[in-house]
């Protein structure tokens, strides 16, 4: 372990897929990192902020600031659906106040305070990060970026990139040191039924909230969960921040397609003498799952 925990900021669309909440849980139970701030993005950001605040409070960290970000992509209207995990929020419950700084400002402030050591982990649309870079280009020299997004081994548009391809393109062209943790590796990382049951049985305040959020995501009814076990897309991105040996990477020039009629939001990774990203190509999924389960069951 490093002498000093790595300062990180997580930018999240918590509330839809369950992996965002699991990623925050991994960060909060990993002594190798110091979670300095959380920012929310995409759609109903007010609800996402409340979910993040509730999860942080369950882990005894109400001191971590949560900045509400932009709900709409850089181009186009915002989505209007309510995050499925909003059902864990109780009417009138007291939660910590969100940060007085909007997400992009909180990103910039946190990077400045971390004095060049901050790892920014985006696990949703990259809108907030793009706005932060547009408003302060020198941010590209003050932090590094870990992106759960993209795919290089298939021809498809990964969700986080598709939610705001213009923002993703801005970030990848900004010069900020970037690691791309895409579907090529995250699809290999899935909880098993025994893992989900172990989380449900742990019985602490934090794991009880996580289990309730898993239930909301899975569409459970009468104890029967309709979805499969969670795929750990976002937790892997968090783990890569402090355990880079879990993945195999290759330097690539990554571009985001923003104009193609059929290829919009594709991530195109090519060999180049001027790469702009470390692209994850493989993962030790067994080692990662052991790490992940050990951490989230520790609290």
- Rounded to an integer, what distance in angstroms lies between the CA atom of residue 127 and that of residue 69? 8
- Phi first, then psi, for residue 172 (nearest 5°) are -70, -25
Is 233 catalytic? The answer is: yes
Buried b (16+ CB within 10 A) or exposed e, 112-133: eebeebbbbbbbbbbbbbbbbb
Joined together, the tokens standing for residue 112 give 């400045």
Options 81, 101, 112, 233, the catalytic residue:
233
Long-range contacts from 93-100, C-beta under 8 angstroms, 24+ separation: 93/54, 95/50, 95/53, 95/54, 95/57, 96/53, 96/56, 96/57, 96/62, 96/66, 98/49, 98/53, 98/65, 98/66, 98/67, 98/68, 99/37, 99/65, 99/66, 99/67, 99/68
Angle, alpha carbons 199-205-207 (nearest 5°): 20
User: Whats the size of the chain, residue-wise?
Assistant: 299
Q: Does an H or E element contain 39, and which?
A: strand 33-40
Best CA proximity match to 73, nearest among 268, 270, 256, 233: 256
Contact criterion met (CB below 8 Å) for 55 and 25:
yes
- Rounded to an integer, what distance in angstroms lies between the CA atom of residue 22 and that of residue 72? 24
Q: Which amino acids are annotated catalytic?
A: 233
């Amino acid at each position: 372990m490093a002498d000093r925990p790595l300062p990180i900021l997580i930018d999240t669309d918590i509330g839809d897929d369950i992996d965002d909440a699991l990623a925050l849980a991994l960060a909060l139970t990993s002594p190798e990192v110091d979670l300095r701030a959380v920012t929310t993005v995409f759609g109903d950001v007010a609800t996402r902020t409340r979910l993040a605040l509730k999860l942080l409070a369950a882990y005894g960290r109400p001191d971590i600031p949560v900045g509400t970000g932009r709900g709409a992509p850089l181009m186009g209207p915002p989505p209007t659906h309510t995050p499925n995990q909003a059902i864990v929020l109780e009417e009138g419950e007291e939660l910590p106040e969100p940060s007085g700084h909007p997400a992009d400002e909180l990103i910039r402030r946190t990077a400045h305070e971390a004095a060049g050591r901050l790892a920014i982990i985006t696990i949703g649309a990259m809108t907030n990060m793009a706005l932060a870079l547009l408003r302060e280009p020198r941010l590209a020299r003050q932090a590094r970026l870990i992106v759960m997004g993209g795919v290089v081994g298939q021809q498809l548009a990964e969700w986080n990139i598709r939610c705001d391809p213009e923002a993703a393109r801005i970030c990848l062209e900004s010069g900020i040191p970037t690691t791309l943790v895409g579907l090529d590796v995250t699809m290999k990382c899935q909880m098993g039924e025994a893992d989900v049951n172990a989380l449900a049985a742990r019985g602490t305040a934090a794991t009880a909230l996580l289990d309730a959020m898993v239930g909301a995501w899975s569409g459970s009814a009468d104890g029967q969960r309709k979805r499969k076990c969670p795929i750990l897309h976002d937790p892997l991105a968090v783990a890569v921040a402090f355990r880079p040996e879990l993945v195999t990477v290759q330097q690539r020039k990554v571009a985001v397609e923003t104009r193609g009629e059929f290829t919009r939001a594709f991530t195109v990774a090519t060999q180049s003498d001027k790469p702009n990203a470390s692209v994850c190509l493989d993962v030790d999924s067994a080692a990662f799952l052991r790490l992940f389960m050990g951490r989230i069951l520790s609290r």
